[in-house]
Amino acid sequence: MNKQMLTGNVAAAWGARLAGIDYLPAFPISPQTEIIETVAEWIDTGAMDASMTTMDSEHSMLTAAGGAAATGVRVFTATSSQGLLYGMEMIYALVGWRVPLVLVNVSRGLAAPITLEPDHNDVLAARDSGFLQLHCSTCQEVLDSILMAYRLAEDRRVRLPVLVNLDGFYLSYTREPVIIPDLEEARQFVGPYDPGTVRFAAQAPVSEAVAVLGGESYSYFRYEVQMAQAQALAVYGEIAAEFAACFGREQARIDAYRAEDAEYLFLMIGSFATKAMDAVDQLREAGWKIGLLRPRLLRPFPEQDLRQLAAGKKGMAVIDQNLSFGRGGILHTEVTSSLYGQSGAPSVIASFVGGLGGRDIAAEEFYQIAQDLRQACVRGIQPPMRLLYTAAELTAMRNLQAIANVPAPERKP
Amino acid sequence: MYRIRFHGRGGQGMKMASHILGTAFFLAGFEVQDAPRFGAERRGAPIFAYVRAQKAPIKERGIISHPGLVLVADESLVPLPAAGILHGVEETTVLFLNSREGGAVWKARLNFPGTVLALDLIGNDLNQPGGQRFFGAICAGAAAALTGVIPEDVLMQAIEDELIHVEAIVVQENKTRARAAFLAMQDKAGIVEEGSGVKVDGYRRPAWIDVPLDDAGLAAPAIHGRRTSELMKTGAWRLRKPVIDTCRCKGCWWVCSTFCPDSAIVVESGRPRIDYDHCKGCMICMVQCSSHAISLVNEKEEVSGE
Amino acid sequence: MKITDSAFKKPKDLPGLHILSAGTSICAGCGGLQAIHEILDILGPKTVTVNAAGCMSLLSVYPFTPFSGSWLYTAMASAPAGAQGVRDALDRLLATKKIAADEDMQVVVLSGDGSATGIGLSATSGAIDRRLDFIYICYDNEGYGNTGQQSSGGTPHGARTTTSRGEQGYCGHKKDLFSIWKANHPAYLATVSGAEPLDLARKIEKARAIKGPSLIIAFSPCPTGWHFPPQESIEIGRLAVRTGVWPLKEYEDGKVVHTKIPAGRLPVTEYLQKQGRFAHLFHPGNAYLIKEMQADVDAYWDCVEKSAATGR
């Protein structure tokens, strides 16, 4: 078995290499750049047979990615944060093109103020684009998800682009032991690229991504994306079962950790979910019946799985590393709407927002979240959203403001 | 509610007609909604505009499906399915045409369920450059009269308000035509009645289906193969057409065939042939033909001559 | 390539059958479509046209396409990037022997002046840096035509547009797209006019034969946005050349050559007076604007004559 210490970025590059990609249009952005540098080096040394072009922007990068996929090659590309937003017009367009490429996003907080460290507002800005979304919590999962993503994207029943997300720093620059599957086995699992019927060929011309007039045609094409997304839930299940049989690793739509006999649940996505697992273990030792749900698949949203896993639980705490200003945590909204009116659904679904721009979520905070959740369940009251922030953090902030010579706000007499 | 639809071609002033009538209703104390509707088509292509008016606030929106009055600026649009002139017409619908033929002829020809009125105010407008832009004023004038709730002076005021940035002579031309149409239709004042809209009692159930999951090849907005646009008969945009005098044509062909923007002049055994299914009537070929072998013929004149 | 090597020696050598089919939603008398149909006639059907949003977005409206080759509609900013993806993929398919050499296609970008001189310039500049093998066709109708002729980077000084309605018209100056490209040493560069079809055909023939980034800027009189009757499109194209307003030229091997130097240039007023967008220039008080325009055109051609005389 080939097991090596890899960063999440290098694991992503390995995913692309093992999937047998043909083409990588690229544009540098921290903390993603290591992915394209790694692939570039492999191409230069002949370790990998693919072609790569460094573009002039993410918008151009995604357009080139779509153009190449529509011409009939397997395409991989990667970005992060501001880059994802700069290319957002094309994120939505590529879905309409029905091109099955894979895009890795390395999550990073959005400007302003600009930062390098992660949260999930960047990837969730693409939530409604029609890209499928897989969220990873370990470097191993990054590699595995890319292999599965190609199967998912290229499946005749789906044919949509897939986004694989990993957190900046906590995965991108963090090394962990990663099993690198055998090249032949990986290629066999992913299979050869089937360009489908929508592609440019000299003998069979196609006019692609053409305009429509009127809501009737437009609605049809948009509804078909929804139908394909809905179908992708089952397709993912098939692919995950095959993956487990080939490589021995389970990648369920929702990862349920010590959830079966739990009365309370945390719900999180991404790398910090392993911190929540740690908290679950500690709380269990202290006598709590608590577990964790971690959706891997965010689009399509595994609503039925969530309903089954949440049934009979007393309460759930959704911890969002994102903030929809004026509303709250985005996952919390998704979860509550999925469980609304379901018999046996938890009576309290509490919302916590933390980990923005790489802020830590401390073990004590997980414990207190559990306490607050239990209290709310006892009282039978849905608690207000809690923004995780401490007195010490505010004091430190005040000191920074003083150094920045920020004039104190005027006080009215 | 008055529900009124104007049909014409791009360049015939249909948006202006809806604005003039909308403002006239507004000045007469009505709540109003007016809007043009156009797609990708350009000058010469069928377009429509609509006006809703009633004394109470208007909550209905979008395309008018049950018109009380349909006005057609250009009779050559009537046979075009794309123009949608007969969409949703009922026994209570009044159809008005700016046409050289009478209402009875049109009623019989179209088997129209409601009243048909025709008025010939075309005059020389088809032959004057830009003459067709006054068709809108004719339709607005007729519509104002047929509702019976808009006085002539209010109509004139509406034209002035809408054409405030336009040269005085053009405003005058619009007023002259609108007044002529208004006066000609005055004896039919009130023939257009306010419609009630779709009632809950006995409504037709929408035939909703569960959308099928189609193969991605089918479900992508992609066109396979070549030249399917030939199915679009853009010849319908045309009001005048170029005709080649085969005696005068020297068979140089490259001039007309190369200069035609629409590939609508094909060369067959060294002679040019105009593809009237697609010729949009731009008349570049006529202007460019050095042997003056191409002349202009009005569509309508030739039809009546046949 | 000398004219004697060209397949287009006389007008009768121009194609009589046209690659781009009829039935599009483009305005009657469109000078842009007129030039594009001449260009595609020479390029032939083995093409992938990557279209930036603009007037020509409407060439294909589902389910109708006028193309005999393939077409990809992209965003306004990134057509050259789409071309990069298509070209790279074709090269990969050729390298891995998934397609044969005779299945290769010419990659073409189609964009208006709004995209070519503004929002698409970054993607264009990237494609030139990367020496992308493609032909960029800019139909220059001197404004954002598809949205109703607002001023763009391609709008000439003094022209009225829907965003420059004042008495002096557009206060900016037409961006020199030719020089922007030239400074970056493209493989080939040319201006064309649909009103000069032989000159156009020879240039497209060259662009097709040369590998690397090529730009064709096509003068595109717009009856709708420039306010003239549709039948005048070709005449206005011809006047633009004869007054010297639209120089026909090409760039190759580091040199610019004027392919048609108008003998006895007509005054620019001959060109201006045909178009509603310039009507205000003839109002009292605006004579200086016409004088400036004439001076600009004269200065341009003086410079051309001088460099021809000195051989530079």
Nearest to B221 among A156, A209, A227 (CB): A209
Among A53, A57, A63, whose Cβ lies nearest the Cβ of C130?
A53
Q: What is the mean pLDDT of residues A203-212?
A: 94
Query: With contact defined as beta carbons under 8 Å apart, do A80 and A27 qualify?
Result: no
Name the average pLDDT for chain B.
91
Let me know whether B166 and B112 are in one domain: yes
User: What are chain C's partners, defined as 3 or more CB pairs within 8 angstroms?
Assistant: A, B
Mean pLDDT in residue range A116-126: 97
* DSSP three-state, residue A223: helix
Of C60, C78, C83, the CB nearest to A59: C78
Which structural domain range is residue A385 located in? 254-394
**Do B181 and B280 share a structural domain?**
no
The model carries a pTM of 0.94
Closest residue of A to C84, CA-based?
A64
The residue to which tokens 């509603």 are assigned: C276
pLDDT digits (tens, 9 = 90+) for C55-87: 999 999 999 999 999 999 999 999 999 999 999
Give the residue among C139, C141, C157 at the shortest CA–CA distance from C149. C141
Whether the CB of A231 is below 8 Å from some CB of chain B: the reply is yes
Residue A356 has pLDDT above 60, yes or no: yes
Q: Residue A82's closest CA among A107, A52, A53?
A: A107
Residues 6+ apart with CB under 8 A from B73: B6, B7, B8, B9, B12, B13, B14, B17, B98, B132, B135, B136, B138, B139
Q: Does residue A203 register a pLDDT over 60? A: yes
| A133, β-bridge pairs | A163, A299
Q: Are residues A212 and A278 in the same domain?
A: no
Mutate to test the interface with C, among B15, B41, B42 (most CBs of C within 10 A): B42
Give the pLDDT of residue B165: 87
User: Residue B229 is nearest to which of C37, C45, C66, comparing CB atoms?
Assistant: C66
Cα separation, A204 vs B225, whole angstroms: 6
Question: Is A234 at the interface with chain B, CB within 8 A?
Answer: no
* DSSP-H helix ranges across C210-257: 223-226, 233-242
Residues of B near A (Cβ–Cβ under 8 Å) read: 39-40, 211-217, 219-226
Cα separation of A210 and C218, whole Å?
A: 24
Are A10 and A138 in a shared domain? Answer: yes
Q: Chain A interface, mutation test: which of C56, C60, C88, C96, most A Cβ atoms within 10 Å?
A: C88
For residue B168, name the pLDDT band (cuts at 50, 70, 90): very high
Whether A375 is covered by a domain: the verdict is yes
Q: Cα C94 to the chain's mean position, in Å? A: 31
Can you tell me the distance from the alpha carbon of A172 to that of A107, in angstroms, rounded to the nearest whole number? 9
**Contact check, Cβ <8 Å, B213/A221:** no
Q: What is the mean pLDDT of residues A258-283?
A: 98
Looking at the partner chain, which of B219, B221, B226 has a beta carbon nearest the beta carbon of A210?
B221
Task: Assess whether A243 and A319 both reside in one domain.
Answer: no
Q: Is residue A17 part of a domain?
A: yes
Residue B268 belongs to domain with CATH number: 3.30.70.20
Considering the domain architecture, whether residues B63 and B139 belong to the same structural domain is answered as yes
Is B173 in a helix, a strand, or coil? helix
Which residue, of B122, B156, B188, is where some domain finishes? B188
The beta-strand segments (E) located in A280-367 are: 290-295, 297-299, 315-320, 348-353
Model confidence at A303: pLDDT above 50: yes
Percentage of chain B lying above the pLDDT 90 cut = 72
Contacts of A198 in chain B (CB under 8 A): 216-217, 220, 222
Which member of A64, A206, A210 has the closest CB to residue C85? A64
pLDDT greater than 50 at residue A364? yes
User: Smallest CA–CA separation between A132 and chain B, in Å?
Assistant: 15
Contact list, B215 vs chain A (CB under 8 Å): 156
Pair A134, A240 in one domain:
yes
Q: CA distances (Å), A216 to each of A98, A213, A223, in order?
A: 19, 8, 11
Do residue B216 and residue A159 have CB atoms under 8 angstroms apart? yes
Cβ atoms < 10 Å from Cβ of B108: 10
Picking from C68, C73, C91, the nearest residue to A209 by CB comes out as: C73
Q: If 0-12 CB within 10 Å is exposed, 13-18 middle and 19+ buried, where does residue A121 land?
A: buried
Q: How many CB atoms lie within 10 A of CB B232?
A: 20
- How much is the pLDDT for B244? 96
What separation in angstroms does the CA of C119 have from each of A109, B300, C160? 27, 45, 21
Residue C135 CB neighbour total at 10 angstroms: 25
Q: Name every residue whose Cβ is closer than 8 Å to that of residue A397 and which is 6 or more positions away in sequence.
A: none
Q: Which residue of C has its CA nearest to B10?
A: C27
Instruction: Clarify whether residues A232 and A263 are in a common domain.
Output: no
**CB contact A222 to B (< 8 Å):** no
B299 in any annotated domain: yes
The percentage of residues in chain A with a pLDDT greater than 90, rounded to a whole number, is: 96
Same domain for A258 and A278: yes
pLDDT score of B270: 86
Within a domain: residue B211?
no
d(CA B254, CA C12): 6
- A106-115 average pLDDT score: 96
Q: What per-residue confidence (pLDDT) applies to B303?
A: 43
Q: What is the pLDDT of residue B77?
A: 86
Here the tokens at position A93 are 């367009």
Upper half-sphere CA count for residue B184 (Cβ side, 13 Å) = 20
Give Cα separations from A251 to A165, A240, C125 (angstroms).
Answer: 15, 6, 43
CA dihedral for A53, A58, A62, A67, sign (positive or negative): negative
* A192 within a domain of the structure (yes/no): yes
Q: Is residue B212 scored above 80 in pLDDT?
A: yes
Pick the residue of A55, A58, A61 with the most C CBs within 10 A to test the interface with C by mutation: A55
Domain total for chain B? Answer: 2
Does C309 have pLDDT greater than 70? yes
> Is pLDDT at C101 greater than 80 in this prediction?
yes
Domain boundaries, chain C: 3-310
- Compute chain A's Rg from CA coordinates: 22
| Gap between the Cα atoms of A263 and A288, Å rounded | 8
Whether residue A60 and residue C90 make contact (CB cut-off 8 A), yes or no, is no
Structure confidence by residue, pLDDT tens digits, C262-273: 999 999 999 999
Max CA pair span of chain A: 81
Question: How confident is the model over B180-193, as a mean pLDDT?
Answer: 95
Q: Binning pLDDT at 50, 70 and 90, where does residue B83 land?
A: confident
Residues C226/C213, Cβ–Cβ less than 8 Å: no
Query: In which band, very low, low, confident or very high, does the pLDDT at C168 lie, cut at 50, 70 and 90?
Result: very high
pLDDT number for residue C67: 97
B123 and B257 fall within a common domain: no
Same domain, A233 and A354: no
| A72–chain C nearest CA distance, Å | 7
Average pLDDT in the A277-304 region? 98
- Provide the number of structural domains found in chain A: 2
The pair of three-digit structure tokens given for residue A272, joined into one six-digit string: 């910090």
Looking at the structure, do residues A240 and A272 belong to the same domain, yes or no?
no
A209 in reach of chain B (CB within 8 A): yes
Average pLDDT, stretch B112-119? 94
Residue range of the domain that includes B299: 233-305
Do C53 and C94 touch, CB atoms closer than 8 A? no
A45 and A93 both lie in a single domain = yes
- Return all residues near B168 (Cβ < 8 A) that are at least 6 apart: none
* pLDDT at C4 (0 to 100): 74
Same domain? A220 vs A133: yes
Residue C312: per-residue pLDDT: 56
pLDDT bin (cut points 50, 70, 90) of residue B305 is: very low
Residue B12 placed within a domain: yes
Domain CATH number, residue A95: 3.40.50.970
Question: Domain with A363 in it: what CATH number?
Answer: 3.40.50.920
- Same domain? For B41 and B147 the reply is yes
How close does chain A come to C35, measured CA to CA in Å?
21
Q: Which CATH superfamily is domain C3-310 in?
A: Thiamin diphosphate (ThDP)-binding fold, Pyr/PP domains (3.40.50.970)
Half-sphere exposure of B4 (CA within 13 A, CB side): 33
- Sign of dihedral through CA atoms B219, B222, B228, B229? positive
Question: Nearest CA to CA, how far is A88 from chain B (Å)?
Answer: 20
CB contact under 8 A, C73 and A72: no
> Which chain B residue is nearest to residue A228, measuring alpha carbons?
B213
- CA angle, A68 then A72 then A75, to 5°: 50
Residue that wins the pLDDT comparison between B47 and A185 = A185
A223 touches chain B (CB under 8 A): yes
- Of the listed ranges A210-219, A311-320, A327-336, B138-147, the one predicted with least confidence: A210-219
Among residues B123, B154, B188, which one ends one of the domains?
B188
Same domain for B49 and B169? yes
Model ipTM value:
0.95
Strand partners, C260: C248
- Contact (CB<8Å) B213/A223: no
For residues A137 and A276, membership in a common domain is answered with no
Q: Are residues B249 and B143 in the same domain?
A: no
* Residue C144 pLDDT greater than 60, yes or no: yes
Radius of gyration, CA atoms only, chain C: 19
Give the CATH number of the domain where residue B168 resides: 3.40.920.10
The yes-or-no verdict on residue B274 having pLDDT over 50 is yes
**d(Cα A257, Cα A264) in Å, to the nearest integer?**
12
- The residues pairing with B36 across neighbouring beta strands, listed in sequence order, are B49
pLDDT band at B306 (very low <50, low <70, confident <90, very high): very low
Of A55, A62, A61, A168, the closest CA to residue A122 belongs to A168
Tokens standing for residue C268: 């620019």
Q: How high is the mean pLDDT of chain C?
A: 95
Least confident of A92-96, B88-92, C88-92: B88-92
Is the same domain home to A25 and A159?
yes
Average pLDDT in chain A:
97
What mean pLDDT is predicted for residues C130-141?
A: 98
